């Protein structure tokens, strides 16, 4: 029964993600925003399990603020046609950091707030607000010489960028698991994750290179008429290595948070899968790395 529920919810998560990636705009903003909000609650509970007391309101509010800011260019609002989320992120970060200090300074509790309370508050909205909103930036990314057809959102170049990113991350996760199960002998980092192996990590990395290269090739030559990667196939394996490594480190980082809090899963919100943090930890770092790689090194948006 547990296996069937795991498979069912796996399909639900997969198709929800695919639907949101293709349509973008409000659909992606709402689905990702809800996921990050709930993951933020999981993060707060992990912090509380360790004995720290982050500001719940600031973590939640800043997560929403980052998702909204990143989503504005894709919502089709004429007044915000030239809106740049990256230009506004420093303002959000400054606001969030200042509020974290001020709110906890004047929180009337005994004992008063600690350094750990302030640090976990800031980490919370950076980890689950700033980092994941790069997926929205990826979806809205477009070469300067491309005109997007709003009637065919599935052909937007941003969809290709998301496919390249997600296939790299998914293939890393899946093939690392099976390669580790079949060939695994040497533990990768037993102090943090006792089951991950060096062989599994290498298997995930090889799979990521293959699938990212495949997405690059099919996108430019067969699927997207706009040639989103500008036929720079040589970039694919290098991007795959960076994103795959970031994804695996993201997985280990979340394992570190759970081990520090003394829990097995971040929550049980997804039957058979654990929490949203458990399922999305690889995407948090991998998505951000993918955005800057594509934007800076492929599209040359310096």
Taking alpha carbons only, the member of 236, 73, 108 closest to residue 165 is 236
Distance CA 110, CA 186 (A): 48
Alpha helix stretches (DSSP H) within the chain: 2-23, 25-50, 56-71, 85-105, 115-125, 134-139, 157-183, 198-218, 235-261, 276-292
Distance CA 27, CA 29 (A): 6
- Token match 């303002």: residue? 91
Distance CA 9, CA 20 (A): 16
Distance CA 186, CA 173 (A): 18
N- to C-terminal Cα separation, the chain: 51
**Contact by Cβ (8 Å): 43, 124:** yes
Residue spans of the domains in the chain: they are 2-298
What is the chain's pLDDT, residue by residue, as a tens digit (302 residues)? 566 777 787 788 888 888 999 999 999 999 999 999 999 999 999 999 999 999 999 999 999 999 999 999 999 888 888 899 999 999 999 999 999 999 888 877 777 788 999 999 999 999 999 999 999 999 999 998 887 888 888 899 999 999 999 999 999 999 999 999 999 999 999 998 888 999 999 999 999 999 999 999 999 999 998 999 999 999 999 999 999 999 999 999 999 999 989 888 888 888 877 899 998 999 999 999 999 999 999 999 88
Predicted pLDDT at 3: 66
Distance CA 287, CA 35 (A): 15
Cα radius of gyration (the chain) = 20
């Amino acid at each position: 029964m547990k296996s069937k529920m795991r498979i069912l919810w796996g399909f639900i998560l997969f198709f929800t993600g695919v639907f949101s990636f293709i349509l973008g705009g409000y659909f992606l903003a709402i689905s990702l925003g809800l996921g990050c909000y709930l993951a933020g609650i999981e993060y707060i509970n992990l912090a509380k399990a360790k004995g720290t007391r982050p500001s719940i309101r600031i973590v939640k509010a800043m997560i929403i603020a980052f998702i909204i800011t990143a989503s504005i260019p894709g919502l089709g609002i004429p007044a915000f046609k030239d809106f740049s989320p990256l230009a506004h992120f420093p303002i959000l970060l400054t606001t969030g950091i200042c509020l974290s200090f001020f709110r906890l300074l004047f929180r009337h509790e005994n004992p008063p707030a600690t350094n750990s309370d302030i640090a976990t508050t800031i980490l919370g909205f950076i980890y689950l607000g700033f980092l994941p909103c790069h997926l929205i930036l990826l979806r809205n990314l477009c070469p300067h010489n491309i005109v997007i057809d709003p009637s065919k959102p599935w052909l937007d170049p941003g969809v290709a960028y998301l496919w390249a990113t997600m296939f790299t991350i998914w293939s890393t996760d899946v093939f690392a698991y099976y390669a580790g199960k079949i060939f695994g002998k040497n533990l990768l980092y037993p102090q943090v994750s006792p089951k991950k192996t060096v062989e599994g990590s290498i298997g995930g990395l090889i799979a990521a290179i293959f699938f990212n290269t495949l997405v690059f090739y099919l996108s430019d030559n067969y699927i997207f008429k706009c040639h989103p990667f500008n036929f720079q196939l040589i970039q694919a394996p290098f991007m795959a290595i960076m994103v795959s490594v970031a994804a695996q480190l993201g997985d280990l980082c979340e394992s570190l948070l759970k081990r520090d809090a003394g829990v097995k899963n971040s929550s049980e919100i997804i039957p058979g899968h654990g929490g949203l943090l458990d399922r999305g930890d690889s995407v948090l770092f991998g998505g951000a790395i993918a955005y800057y790689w594509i934007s800076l090194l492929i599209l040359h948006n310096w």
